Amino acid sequence: MGRNFGLPAEFLVKEQPPQWTIETALALTMLHDVRVRPGNVGAALEKMAPIWEAMTRFDVSRAEWHPYWETPPLASAEPETVKASLYLHPATNGRTGKALLVVSNLSQEHSLSAQVSLDLDRLGIRPARARDALTGESLSSEGGRILISLEPLRMRLVWVE
């Protein structure tokens, strides 16, 4: 996957609830480093603003992008319907690394508890503490494994440092 020059790529969504919503689009697009463009200044903008803010705080424009299909993966997820891509600021000058994960449940039917396993040595993150980047909620993490609950066709941003 190439890197875009200029403005980041955006995905246009014409919502048709309940099957097709901005949340559904985010579960698919964010895994591929593409944001959803809000079509108006109402609810769609309110959904996107916290995501933009978290991505700006993390400085994704200067981070390395590591998609879920990378081999070997820096992050892998279970069950099979869950995928995880990430932005990485590697460890430098004695400072630990940090990662912003996009974790998506691509199942159309099942809410589930997922486990994301991180390659902490390659990420350069020690110890690894995980929290939801949008809500600040601490997530259960131990030894490079993060437990996360996901609704069907939804994504979560997870900040790890």
Give me 59's structure tokens: 């400085």
Q: Is residue 5 part of a domain?
A: no
CATH code of the domain containing 54: 2.60.40.1180
Q: What is the pLDDT of residue 22?
A: 78
- Rounded distance between C-alpha atoms, residue 87 and residue 66, angstroms: 6
Q: Collapsing DSSP states into helix, strand and coil, what is residue 10?
A: strand
Range of the domain at 102: 10-160
> Does residue 126 lie within any of the structural domains?
yes
Confidence of residue 12 (pLDDT cuts 50, 70, 90): low
Structure confidence at residue 95 as a pLDDT band (50, 70, 90): confident
Question: What band does 3 get if pLDDT is binned at 50, 70 and 90?
Answer: low
- Tokens 């099957």: give the residue: 19
Q: How many domains are there within the chain?
A: 1
120 lies in some domain: yes
Mean pLDDT of 89-115: 90
Per the domain annotation, does 124 fall within a domain?
Answer: yes
Q: Which residues contact 147 (CB under 8 A, 6 or more apart)?
A: 113, 114, 115, 139, 140, 141
Residue 2 in domain: no
Confidence (pLDDT) at 84:
97
